[in-house]
Structure 1
C-alpha cells in the first residue's frame, strides 16, 4: 500500500458540472429536512465512507457528527459497530442496512436486515434511509474517483 503525498485532484466535478452538482446538493438539502435523526444520518455517512475508503468524506462527516454532539468514542468504534456495546439496536439495524446497500453486489439486502429496520422505521423513513445511503455512495464514488483529498 502506498502513502499518499501531494495528491492532486483529477477533475473538479462541481466546477465542471454545476447544474448536476446543484441536483446533488438538492438531494442533501431534502434529506436534511426529513424526520431522520441528524446524528443517525451522520453515522450512515461515516460508515458508508469507511466501507468505500473515502478519506475526504470520512473527514468531513466526522467533523459534522462531532458538531452535532456525537461522541468521539462512538466514532472510533463505528468501524467495529457489530462488536461494540455503544450502539443501540435501532442504530445496529440501520448500520447493517447501510452495509448491505453499500455492498449490494455481495448478496443484496437480506430479508432479516430489512425486517430489523422495519421494526424501527416507517416505510417513508426506510425510503429516506435508502436514499441517504445511496446518495452517500454516489458522493463517495465522486470523491474517490477524482481523488478528492481533505486538507491536512
Structure 2
C-alpha cells in the first residue's frame, strides 16, 4: 500500500479495501504491473481494462481509468464509447475491444474469424495472450471492488 501511495500520491479506497486480503492485493498489484509491461500499447491496454470494467459495472475502475485515458490523450468520444460499450471509431482499438469481449464471451474459445479480425489489425498471438492477462487481472480487480463496495472516497 505504501508503494501505491508513493506512486499515486494517495491511497485509493479501492486499494485499501482490497488490502483486507493481502494476498489478493499483492497479486493484483503484481499482475497489473506486469500488464503495464506487455507489448500492447498503452491505449490498447486501457481499452482492455475499460472493456472489462464497463462490462463488470465497476464504476470506480471506470472513473480511475477514464483519468488514465485522458492522460494518454484519448478523446472524449473514445472514452464515452468504451464506457458505454459501443463500437470505437478507431478500428485498431475497436479490434482490441471486440477481441476482449470475444475472449470473455467464449471463455477463451475465440473462433478463427475472431482471431483473424484481431490479427488483421496488426496484433499478434503474443498480444492475444496479453489481452487474456489483462482480462484476468482486471476481472479480479472489478469483482473485488464490487464485492467490497469500493468507491472513490
Query: How far does the alpha carbon of each residue in 1:34-66 deviate from its partner, in whole angstroms, 9 at most, with x for none?
Result: 221101111111121111111010011101110
- Residue 136 in 1 paired to residue 138 in 2? yes
Q: Which residue of 2 aligns with 1:37?
A: 41
Unaligned runs of 5+ in 2: 1-13
- Name the CA distance, whole Å, in 2 between partners of 1:148 and 1:108: 32
Contact 1:102 1:134 in 2 (8 A): no
The count of residues paired between Structure 1 and Structure 2 equals: 137
- Name the CA distance, whole Å, in 2 between partners of 1:112 and 1:26: 33
1:60-79 equivalences under 5 Å are 60-78=64-82, 79=84
2:128 is aligned, of 123, 126, 129, to 126
Contact 2:18 2:145 in 1 (8 A): no
1:1-152 equivalences under 5 Å are 12-14=17-19, 16-78=20-82, 79-82=84-87, 86-88=89-91, 90-104=92-106, 108-119=109-120, 120-151=122-153
Contact 1:54 1:140 in 2 (8 A): yes
- Name the CA distance, whole Å, in 1 between partners of 2:60 and 2:22: 20
Distance 1:69 1:135, change over 3 A: same
For residue 21 of structure 1, report the CA deviation from its aligned partner.
1.5
Q: TM (normalized to structure 2)?
A: 0.78
Q: After the TM superposition, which of the residue ranges 95-104 and 121-130 deviates more from structure 2?
A: 95-104
Unaligned runs of 5+ in 1: 1-8
Q: TM (normalized to structure 1)?
A: 0.78
Query: How far does the alpha carbon of each residue in 1:59-105 deviate from its partner, in whole angstroms, 9 at most, with x for none?
Result: 111011101111112111222533x5x222x2222111111233446
